[in-house]
Amino acid sequence: MISSKNINTKVFFENAKNSLRLTEEREDLLLEIADTISDEYFDREKVNINFICTHNSRRSQFAQVWSYFAANYFELSNFSTFSGGTEATAFHRNTVRALQYAGFEFNVEDFSHQNPKYLISFRGSKSPLSAFSKTFENPINEFPYIAITTCDSADEKCPFIPDATHRFHLPYSDPKSSDSKDNTKETYIATSKQIAGEVYFIFEEIKRQISEN
């Protein structure tokens, strides 16, 4: 049973990393992503990361928000995180609820029944993250950027991402399959936890490499 009470974002993030179980192949992929991001930082002293999924409503939003938190958690400056899709839909309400459960605060920046814009923050954050569903080439997504696709359909439908300096495919199971079912909340929180744990792994390695340089 999952409590309806929100928990501290830092606690959720650390618990996600501590419970992470990776195959050797998955760990190698996460390390390759961390190495590439670190190299980009050393070359440009600035990194833009764009998480891309078909509808930019669930997995890519989780990845952007947790990377936004990770950059703050590890005290990494000049790291910007974005997300986009092959089409724009909406920041799904179940994704919002799962992130609220982890302690993120959502304030409506621009209300729209179809696609509201949110300002997302957490306890101790210096500036909020503006988030809404959009295509990956939306002007808000600063370029050049490292592209990370998070679902199979996005990888198949995006054979060419012109502004990407590098591209990785980091797929996650779609929590959409649980919508309107008894396990909806648990499934979305589990997806959030997996992504948070892997983001922690990536950014911890980035922090190590930057600190040792």
**Residue 146 pLDDT grade (very low, low, confident, very high; cuts 50, 70, 90):** very high
Q: Residue 70 has which token pair? A: 């990770």
Instruction: Report the distance separating Cα 169 and Cα 108, nearest Å.
Output: 31
In the numeric block, the tokens 């997995």 are attached to 59
Instruction: Confirm whether 17 is domain-assigned.
Output: yes
Give yes or no for residue 109 having a pLDDT over 90. no
User: Which of the 8 DSSP states describes residue 31?
Assistant: H
187 vs 155, residue with greater confidence: 187
pLDDT on residue 163: 82
Please check whether residue 4 lies inside any domain of the structure.
Answer: no
With respect to residue 23, please indicate whether it lies within any of the assigned structural domains.
Answer: yes
- Is residue 3 situated within a structural domain? no
pTM of the model: 0.94
pLDDT, one tens digit per residue, over 52-100 is: 998 999 999 999 999 999 999 999 999 999 999 989 999 999 999 999 9
Position 6 scores a pLDDT of 67
Number of domains composing the chain: 1
Domain range spanning residue 150?
A: 9-212
Q: What is the DSSP letter of 172?
A: -
pLDDT higher at 211 or 111 = 211
Give the whole-angstrom CA distance, residue 179 versus residue 51.
22
Query: Is 151 inside any structural domain?
Result: yes
Supply the DSSP symbol for 84. E
Residue 112, pLDDT score: 75
> Could you tell me which of 138, 181, 193 has the C-alpha nearest to residue 163?
138
Closest residue by Cα to residue 146 from 50, 39, 68: 50
> pLDDT band for position 162 (50/70/90)?
confident
CATH number for the domain harbouring residue 160 = 3.40.50.2300
In angstroms, the Cα distances linking 18 to 11, 27, 123, 147 are 10, 14, 21, 26
The pLDDT tens digits for 1-51 are 334 456 799 999 999 999 999 999 999 999 999 999 999 999 999 999 999
167 DSSP 8-state letter: E
Residue 143: both structure tokens together: 């370029």
Would 2 be classed as within a structural domain? no
Q: Give CA–CA dist 39/192, Å, rounded.
A: 27
* Domain annotation covers residue 190: yes
Q: Can you tell me the distance from the alpha carbon of 113 to that of 207, in angstroms, rounded to the nearest whole number? A: 39
Please give the Cα distance from 131 to 113 (Å, whole number).
Answer: 15
In a domain, 1, yes or no: no
Q: Would you give the distance in Å from CA 159 to the centre of its chain?
A: 21
